[in-house]
Structures are given as structure tokens and as C-alpha cells.
Amino acid sequence: MAIIVNHWQRRDRTTIEEFGNAAYEFCRAQRGVEGIGSSRFYWVNSDTLVIQSQAESFEAFDRTGTPELGKASFALSDIARPASTERWQEPRAATELYRRAGR
């Protein structure tokens, strides 16, 4: 299992409602990508939210995506700025990758 966590910060000209709606649409579009099982957002505070998405593997996140995801991604980027991205991997998968690397 692969998880990506993105932190987003609201731009000054954006309302909280616009910010939340854009995050919701992004999550909805991301769930439409093959291999991505879930995508939800959580408020950190009124200016920051986190989007947590889960997939079978990181390959699902690295695909081109869909036109809907592209549209939602650009809409979110217009009103918020990405603050950080974390890629989380299950210990078993990380260990397997380590072993396949000949370590």
C-alpha cells in the first residue's frame, strides 16, 4: 500500500469555502484514477489542509491521471499553494524494495 500526504496552504484572496470545495473536487477526481482507492482531505487550520490519498502502489500516483484530475489539480493550485508532500510506504513494501536493490 502507498500513501501520499499533501499539505496545501490557502492563498490570501481565497475563501475557506472555495479552498474546501477545491480540495473536495481534487479528492473526488483522484479517486477516479485506476489504482487509487481513497483520497480525503482534513483541515489543519483555517489556512491549511491535508489531502491523504491511498493506492495499491506508487505507480498509481505516478500515472498521467485523467482529464478530471488535471482540471481539479489546476483549480486547487490556482487558489492554494502546495506546502509539502510526503510519500508513505508500508514497512513490508519498503523492505522488499531494499532487498530487490541487492542490499
pLDDT of residue 63: 83
pTM: predicted TM-score of the whole model, two decimal places: 0.87
Gap between the Cα atoms of 5 and 37, Å rounded: 14
Whether residue 3 is predicted with pLDDT greater than 80 in this model: the reply is yes
What amino acid occupies position 29? A
* Nearest Cα to Cα of residue 57 among 96, 83, 23, 99: 96
Which CATH code for domain 2-100? 3.30.70.100
**27 or 64, greater pLDDT:** 27
Cα–Cα distance between 27 and 8 in angstroms, integer? 13
Would you list the domain boundaries of the chain? 2-100
CA dihedral 49, 54, 60, 61 (to 10 degrees): 20
Q: For 8-59, write each residue's pLDDT tens digit.
A: 999 999 999 999 999 999 999 999 999 999 999 999 999 999 999 999 888 9
